Amino acid sequence: MSQEKQLPHDHHENELAFNFLCANIDHIEDFRIVSDIFKQLGDPTRLRIFWLLCHCEECVQNIAAMMNMSSPAISHHLRPLKASGLITSRREGKEVYYRTADSQQTKLLHIMMEQVMKINCQICPK
């Protein structure tokens, strides 16, 4: 599936890799989806909430208490995380519980964060 791209310099040796790269590098919308995920997580507070919710389901008040923050501040961060599909919520009576969405993407983000932070997760099976 050649994209018929001509490069200024002809020093690629692997035609298969070149064609693969050319076929995908223009899928700007796909890259935007990944960019949006990183944008949602491009804030230490959101990362802390996301990481916390990888391990437990919690209400806003408990998340706020664990993070020494106000409930409105936590809600402010939960909204975009939920809108992006990274976390989900469940209502039970008057209480709303949040947790990380169950997906391959969130599992990888969880593992990636703990690798970068050198945290040996004692909760999740590897």
Positions touching Zn ion (CB under 5 A) are 121, 124
- In the complex, least distance from residue 58 CB atom to Zn ion, rounded to whole angstroms: 15
Long-range contacts of 45-50 (CB under 8 A, 24+ apart): 45/69, 45/73, 45/77, 46/77, 46/80, 46/81, 47/113, 49/74, 49/77, 49/78, 49/81, 49/87, 50/81, 50/86, 50/87, 50/100, 50/106, 50/109, 50/113
Measured from each CB, the residue nearest to Zn ion is: 121
* Closest to Zn ion by CB, 56 or 121: 121
* Closest to Zn ion by CB, 34 or 124: 124
* Closest to Zn ion by CB, 68 or 120: 120
- In the complex, least distance from residue 126 CB atom to Zn ion, rounded to whole angstroms: 9
- In the complex, least distance from residue 113 CB atom to Zn ion, rounded to whole angstroms: 8
